[in-house]
Amino acid sequence: MKTYFIRYSLCLVLFFSYSSFAKQVVDQLNRTVTVPDHIERVVVLQHQTLNLLVQLNQQDHIVGVLSSWQKQLGKNYNRLAPNLIHLPMPGDLSSANIESLLTLKPQVVFVANYAPQAMIEQIEQLNIPVIAISLRQDLASEAGKINPQMNNEEYTYNEGLKASILLIGEVMDAKQQAQDLIDYTFSQRQIVSERLKDLKPEQRISVYMANPNLTTYGSGKYTGLMMQHAGAYNVAAATIQGFKQISIENVLQWDPQVIFVQERYPQVVNEILTDSAWQNIMAVKEQRVYLMPEYAKAWGYPMPEALALGELWMAKKLYPQRFADIDMQKAADEYYRRFYRTDYHPE
């Protein structure tokens, strides 16, 4: 019975995949993938792509999501796309439930660039196109890595974010929405660059990005680039590459002036403020430990709202006198109305 079910479902997938004209796209693993011209059913096994699809107003085409989407995007994300809470979860970042995928009849599955090759091949054997998204413009040898080597982080992430948005827009027939998102994001980003252009290296405020279990971002991640754009010095950049666990002794030695915590990890703020091991660190003594807002996505991979809003929020926290006229609620409302179709309502 199980074999019959799989064969029958495979026939349905084959029919669904070829029921429209096809086009070819190149994903961010440099793979040429054939997808239908018109796509109505999408499974998303990467949270960054899920967030971008919502901003491109494509959430009605999503029929399945990764199981960790709420953990990755934050507990309040559901208000931006309420239908997500009801969707099946046929896999996660590094695995897929093939039988569950078959029942959803997706025309394309989006995965992370570091998804296991075996997982990608397993899905493709069902004749379901797989699109890998990295949000980076990598050297060919680095495309499938979580912590790649980069010759130029600025170029890698700026051009990689643009390419990923355009790729998703191409696949979903949402090219204009994709271009609008790119244009708005990078034009807004110039506000910070212009106001901090005369900031000298020795004037930069030292910052530590705190995550659960003493994990943080060093060099080679967008978070470091975010800090750089906002006028901060990432204390971990010279010591570690990528996303890694460090020790409290490292933080004590770095003695950052400011500590930031991502919105999805509010418990970390309380841990830092109440743990005696942290009390001699300058940021704690001066009460400069800040929980970041939802839009300030200081992730290892860039998101457009992080560039358009997050870097501005961070810069305003670090250098309030240079951004005294900036109303972050107003700026966030403008972005959210345009790309999330709602006002920004911090919880």
What mean pLDDT is predicted for residues 253-268? 95
Considering the domain boundaries, does residue 229 fall inside one?
A: yes
CA–CA separation, 267 and 254 (whole Å): 22
Residue 185 lies in a domain: no
Do 247 and 333 reside in the same domain of the chain?
yes
Q: What pLDDT shows up at residue 75?
A: 82
pLDDT confidence of 17, banded at 50, 70, 90?
very low
Which of the four pLDDT bands, split at 50, 70 and 90, describes residue 18? very low
The number of distinct structural domains making up the chain is 2
**Same domain for 212 and 145?**
no
| CA proximity to 34, closest of 51, 46, 49, 20 | 20
pLDDT of residue 300: 86
Residues in the chain: 347
Of the pLDDT bands very low, low, confident and very high (cuts 50, 70, 90), residue 19 is: very low
Whether 208 and 68 share a structural domain: no
Match 């003594």 to its residue by tokens: 285
CATH number for the domain including 80? 3.40.50.1980
Q: What is the mean pLDDT of residues 206-217?
A: 96
Residue 169 pLDDT greater than 90, yes or no: yes
Q: 298 and 155, same structural domain?
A: no
Same domain, 164 and 204: no
Q: What residue numbers bound the domain in which 53 lies?
A: 2-173
Name the 3-class secondary structure at 5.
helix
Number of Cβ within a 10 Å radius of residue 284: 18
- Is 347 a domain residue? no
pTM exceeds cut of 0.95: no
pLDDT confidence bin for 16, thresholds 50/70/90 = very low
pLDDT score, position 8: 43
Residue 5's pLDDT band, with cuts at 50, 70 and 90, is: very low
Residue 66 domain flag: yes
Could you tell me if residue 181 is inside a domain? no
Q: Which residue has the higher pLDDT, 159 or 11?
A: 159
In a domain, 85, yes or no: yes
> What does the pLDDT average to over 142-167?
94
Q: What is the dihedral of CA 61, 57, 299, 314, to 10 degrees?
A: -170
What is the identity of the amino acid at 113?
N
Instruction: Say yes or no: 310 and 163 in one domain.
Output: no
49 and 96 part of one domain: yes
Q: Is there a single domain that holds both residue 164 and residue 210?
A: no
